[in-house]
Amino acid sequence: MGTAIAEIIAGFAELLFGRKLFWILVGIGGFLIGWFLAPAIWHSLLTWQRVLIGIVLGLGFALLARWFIKFMVALAGFFLVGTLAVVLVRHLGAHVASSSVSYFVTFIVGGLIGAVLLGMFFNWALIILTSLVGAGSEAIGIVHFVSHHPRWLEAVLFIILAVLGFAYQARRIVGHNRGLGRG
């Protein structure tokens, strides 16, 4: 239950304020590197070692993001989209074993797409990415409190929350660019 509450709170913050808190996104990317890639490199890691590697890399990436903003966001895009590519390919039924050539090819292709997109469309990419990540976290957290955790409800919540988060953050950017408000 504590994890679900944390997902709801973190998802809400990222959903509405993700562009402003992008260094958190970069930190999450660092954590994901430790969590997903470390076992692909070192096969016999224990869970606590994966968590520790993820925390160290996440904190390091978040601190670097304060000084090297665009580079770290592009790097975060590389690792986040690379990781998402592997998860998506596995979800679609393809066999992508850790440490395999297909794993690294999928990761690198997805990562390059993520780095280019976040580098080219910095603000808009951050808004889209943080809206999706925030909506996903919110939906998972909310559905945890519903009996039988229906996947259809999670999907509906994800879509609605992603659209609302995108609209809220985009409105703040457009208003700021017109001189109407603070972005």
H or E segment at 24? helix 22-32
H or E segment at 104? helix 101-120
Residue predicted with more confidence, 70 or 57: 57
Task: Tell me: pLDDT of 182 over 50.
Answer: no
pTM, 2 dp = 0.59
Q: What six digits make up the tokens of 120? A: 């080219």
Give tens-digit pLDDT for 81-137.
Answer: 888 888 888 878 787 787 788 888 999 999 999 899 888 887 887 788 788 888 888
What are the residue ranges spanned by the domains of the chain? 2-177
60-69 burial, b at 16+ Cβ within 10 Å, e below that, comes to ebbebbeeee
